[in-house]
């Protein structure tokens, strides 16, 4: 019977670049920047790495379609390297490949690295999907924009729970202001300036009701992890190391929009994926057992509804928790976006999932500086790729090893 990978994988090193408009470097330099920190953190030599997984999404404007850029850039020692892509979960997908490889016993030490270089395209948002997207574009998403789609999510949620527009926007403003405040404490964040709720509410509208500060930006960045088994970590002399408690991914079949009465007020994939992750991790009450979260805040409303989809807030009650400070960094029940989130880091797609894990990893080791929370036990990360109509969700849970 399948038992999952709880405590079968140890994270012994992580690295992350500064995110931002990195005009001075290419994707290769970003990969190297993250990798050097990760390798030093792990305290191993490059020759100890036996296989690698490479997460990147926009191959047409980034590093290309193969895994070769990782192998060549890092001068990896003639080992298997696999490139993976799964929309906004691409970084977590690389991590999943590396974790499953060591959990299975196929390899002893594996690398997962994600990168995306988007700012050199000369385009203000994500690059156009083009003809390669095929059916998803011409049949499902004609004239689609990300802000427009997630604005529909906001309107649907407000309609379902009878929330006044001004109350919804105030809660979304609190979500963004909280993340910006956290970002001021993080030297690796793209945006490091606090913004008030009133400034957020007064900003130009992008797609009603989403304003400028409800939307995350576009940036460049890379992050990576080195994993092994707990047994090998112990032999290396590692103490109090971090292990993987759960790692799940769910993809929509499209049924939400096409085949039932789903009303676009939440994400079925996140609800199902988190339930699977909690079962794998042995978590019965996530509101009390999860210590902290990094969720996919591509828009403030996405983070808003994700609180409920992760079963932390009750359905229709997220606004109340938000305004009560439940997700704030200091004094909150479950602090969210401790490093500033996508809101302050931007979203270099292949890197985001691993960047989220990097913050949880720092927190668990007590190395998060002014962002550090007291006695973290379990950290959750969440990616949501695609759009409200069809999407991909990944959830990872990590914590200190107990065994």
Cα–Cα distance measured from residue 240 to residue 281, given in angstroms and rounded to the nearest whole number: 18
CB 186 within 8 Å of CB 371: yes
36-366-14 Cα angle (round to 5) = 20
Q: Is 265 helix (H, G, I), strand (E, B) or coil?
A: coil
DSSP string, 335-366: -B-TT-HHHHH---HHHHHHHHHHHHHHHHTT
CB 238 within 8 Å of CB 179: no
* Nearest in space to 10 (alpha carbons), one of 164, 227, 301: 227
| Element at 382 (helix H, strand E) | strand 378-386
**Of 88, 215, 298, 344, which is the active-site residue?**
88
CB 351 within 8 Å of CB 114: yes
Q: What is the CA radius of gyration of the chain?
A: 20
Identify whether 347 is a catalytic site residue: yes
* Nearest in space to 362 (alpha carbons), one of 346, 381, 343: 381
Which residues, other chains included, contact 115 with Cβ-Cβ below 8 Å and sequence gap of 6+?
A: 27, 30, 31, 34, 54, 55, 56, 62, 63, 221, 222, 348, 350, 351
Residues annotated as catalytic are 88, 347
């Amino acid at each position: 019977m399948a038992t999952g990978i709880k405590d079968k994988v140890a994270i012994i090193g992580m690295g992350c670049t500064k995110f931002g408009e990195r005009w001075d470097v290419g994707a290769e330099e970003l990969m190297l920047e993250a990798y050097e920190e990760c390798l030093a953190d792990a305290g191993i030599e490059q020759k100890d790495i036996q296989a690698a997984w490479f997460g990147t999404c926009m191959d047409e404007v980034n590093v290309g379609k193969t895994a070769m850029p990782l192998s060549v850039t890092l001068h990896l020692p003639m080992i298997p390297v696999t490139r993976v892509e799964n929309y906004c979960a691409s970084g977590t997908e690389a991590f999943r490949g590396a974790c499953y490889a060591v959990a299975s016993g196929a390899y002893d030490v594996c690398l997962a690295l994600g990168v995306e270089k988007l700012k050199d395209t000369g385009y203000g948002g994500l690059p156009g999907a083009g003809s390669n997207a095929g059916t998803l574009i011409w049949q499902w998403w004609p004239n689609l924009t990300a802000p427009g789609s997630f604005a529909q999510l906001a309107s649907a949620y407000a309609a379902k729970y009878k929330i006044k527009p001004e109350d919804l926007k105030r809660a979304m403003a609190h979500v963004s202001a909280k993340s910006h405040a956290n970002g001021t404490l993080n030297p690796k964040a793209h945006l490091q300036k606090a913004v008030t709720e009133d400034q957020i509410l007064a900003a130009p509208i992008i797609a009603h009701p989403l304003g400028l500060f409800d939307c995350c930006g576009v940036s460049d960045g890379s992050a990576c992890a080195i994993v092994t088994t707990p047994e090998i970590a112990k032999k290396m002399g590692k103490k109090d190391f971090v292990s993987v408690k759960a790692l799940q991914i769910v993809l929509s079949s499209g049924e939400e929009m096409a085949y039932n009465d789903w009303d676009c007020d939440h994400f079925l994939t996140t609800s199902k994926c988190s339930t699977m992750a909690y079962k794998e991790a042995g978590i019965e009450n996530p509101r009390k057992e999860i210590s902290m979260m990094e969720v996919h805040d591509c828009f403030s409303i996405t983070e808003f509804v994700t609180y409920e989809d992760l079963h932390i807030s009750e359905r229709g009650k997220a606004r109340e928790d938000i305004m009560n400070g439940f997700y704030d960094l200091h004094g909150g029940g479950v602090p969210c976006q401790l490093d500033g989130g996508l809101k302050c880091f931007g979203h270099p797609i292949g890197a985001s999932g691993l960047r989220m894990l990097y913050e949880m990893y720092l927190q668990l080791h007590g190395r998060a500086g002014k962002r550090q929370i007291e006695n973290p036990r379990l950290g959750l990360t969440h990616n949501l790729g695609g759009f409200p109509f069809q999407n991909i969700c990944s959830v990872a849970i990590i914590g200190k090893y107990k065994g």
